[in-house]
């Protein structure tokens, strides 16, 4: 588990995180969501014992150790947002270095290199790696041991679809084993797929907590459906506007903003009016608009 209690940290008089109280129970995966500069990295680093709170505290692991206690380091693994390794070492040497520090048995090196799909590249110098390969290596290092708590700062930012799949499976396995995973991300897909709960911080303050599904549903309700209609019939827009007052034509596309739940009704109206549906897309609501709404700022 991880528990933040009124965690506050300021840099040069500006509060990066302001009174964060949040719990990540054992056996759960919690995502930290928020705009750039909202305090995600600062919060995750505090759990890793790398940021000293100005006030409040962070405790973690089965023994509820203060994150600043050196013993708490044994209970967690941390993937930094900007991970880097010595460029002249090979991937295998990097993994072996951390494996020895963490007293993990030797066979773990092959296991995590395989997980990171770096089997071949493991013998190459890290200086020759692509951005995504360095991130995979970072994940391999962070998942070497079987620590209680995984702290991952934007773990998926540079991953390709195959890397994402491997990462999702790893998080699922950790959750099933009763582990605690706390990660930050700007990718809605990660949150929908992985997070039991989502904590949203804006300007250093916790502004909302949702389940992953609730968040996806709220964003879908702020989305837009676009229906391409051949032979649009007269009077259709008026009927659609009875359901969705903001509906409008753009060329041969019917634009329908608003809750996902009204979309089937709109499609029924199009068909009843003899419209021929040639294409349909639905976009989720945007996170930036959602953040503004949560803090009550004008959009
Ligand atoms: N070492 C530091 N010195 C001074 N200011 C800092 C330092 N670290 C963070 N900050 C400031 O604290 C605030 C929060 O930064 P943080 O890195 O926690 O944000 P973040 O939510 O992780 O953003 P991003 O999505 O861009 O990674 C920002 O205003 C940042 O400028
Ligand atoms: Mg960050």
The pLDDT value given to residue 147: 87
Q: Which residue has its alpha carbon closest to ligand 1 atom 16?
A: 39
Full domain range(s) for residue 278? 223-283
> How far apart are the CA of 201 and the centre of ligand 1, in A?
12
In a domain, 292, yes or no: no
Same domain for 89 and 214?
A: yes
Q: Which residue has its alpha carbon closest to ligand 1 atom 13?
A: 16
Domain CATH code at residue 243: 3.30.70
| Ligand 1 atom at shortest distance from the alpha carbon of 34 | 21
Choosing from 31, 40, 155 the residue with most ligand 1 atoms within 8 A of its CB, the one to mutate for a pocket test is: 40
Domain CATH code at residue 29: 3.40.50.300
* pLDDT, tens digit (0-9, with 9 covering 90-100), for 260-297: 889 999 999 999 988 899 999 998 888 888 888 887 77
Question: Given a cut of 80, is residue 232 above it in pLDDT?
Answer: no
> How far apart are the CA of 293 and the centre of ligand 2, in A?
22
> How far apart are the CA of 179 and the centre of ligand 1, in A?
27
Nearest CA to 11 out of 41, 49, 47, 48 is that of 41
Structural domain count of the chain:
2
* pLDDT, tens digit (0-9, with 9 covering 90-100), for 129-157: 999 999 999 999 999 988 889 999 999 99
* pLDDT, tens digit (0-9, with 9 covering 90-100), for 55-102: 999 999 999 999 999 999 999 999 999 999 999 999 999 999 999 999
Q: What is the pTM of this model?
A: 0.88
The pLDDT value given to residue 19: 98
Question: Given a cut of 80, is residue 233 above it in pLDDT?
Answer: no
Same domain for 250 and 195?
A: no
Indicate the pairing of strand 14-24 with strand 29-33: unpaired
Same domain for 206 and 244?
A: no
Same domain for 156 and 37?
A: yes
In a domain, 298, yes or no: no
Same domain for 181 and 273?
A: no
Write the secondary structure of the chain as one string of H (helix), E (strand) and C (coil): CEEEEEEEEEECCEEEEEEEEEEECCCCEEEEECCCCCCHHHHHHHHCCCCCCCEEEEEECCCCEECCCHHHHHHEEEECCCCCCCCCCEHHHHHHHHHHHCCCCCCHHHHHHHHCCCCCHHHCEHHHCCHHHHHHHHHHHHCCCCCCEEEEECCCCCCCHHHHHHHHHHHHHHHHCCCEEEEECCCHHHHHHHCCEEEEEECCEEEEEEEHHHHHHHHHHCCEEEEEEECCCCCHHHHHHHHCCCCEEECCEEEEECCHHHHHHHHHHHHHCCCEEEEEEEECCCHHHHHHHHCCCCC
Task: Write out residues with Cβ below 6 Å of ligand 1.
Answer: 11, 16, 34, 36-42, 81
């Amino acid at each position: 588990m991880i528990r933040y209690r009124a965690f506050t940290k300021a840099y040069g008089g500006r509060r990066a995180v302001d009174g964060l109280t949040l719990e990540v129970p054992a056996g759960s995966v919690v995502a930290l969501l928020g705009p750039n500069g909202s305090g995600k990295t600062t919060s995750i680093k505090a759990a890793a014992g790398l940021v000293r709170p100005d006030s409040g505290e962070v405790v973690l692991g089965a023994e509820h150790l203060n994150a600043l206690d050196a013993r708490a380091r044994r209970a967690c693994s941390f993937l930094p947002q900007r991970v880097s390794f010595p460029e002249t070492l090979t991937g295998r040497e990097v993994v072996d270095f951390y494996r020895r520090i963490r007293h993990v048995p030797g066979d773990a090196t092959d296991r995590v290199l395989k997980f990171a799909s770096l089997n071949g590249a493991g013998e190459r110098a890290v200086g020759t790696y692509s951005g995504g390969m360095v991130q995979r290596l970072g994940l391999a290092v962070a998942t070497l041991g079987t620590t209680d708590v995984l702290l991952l700062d934007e773990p998926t930012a540079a991953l390709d679809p195959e890397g994402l799949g491997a990462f999702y499976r790893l998080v699922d396995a950790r959750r099933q084993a009763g582990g605690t995973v706390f990660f930050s991300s700007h990718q809605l897909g990660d949150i929908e797929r992985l997070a039991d709960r989502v904590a949203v911080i804006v300007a250093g303050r916790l502004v909302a907590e949702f389940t992953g599904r609730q968040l996806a549903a709220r964003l879908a309700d702020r989305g837009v459906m676009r229906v391409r209609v051949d032979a649009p019939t007269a009077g259709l827009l008026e009927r659609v506007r009875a359901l969705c007052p903001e509906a409008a034509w753009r060329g041969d596309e019917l634009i329908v903003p608003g809750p996902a739940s009204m979309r089937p009704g709109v499609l029924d109206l199009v068909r009843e009016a003899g419209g021929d549906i040639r294409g349909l897309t639905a976009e989720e609501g945007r996170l930036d608009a959602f953040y503004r709404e949560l803090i009550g700022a004008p959009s």
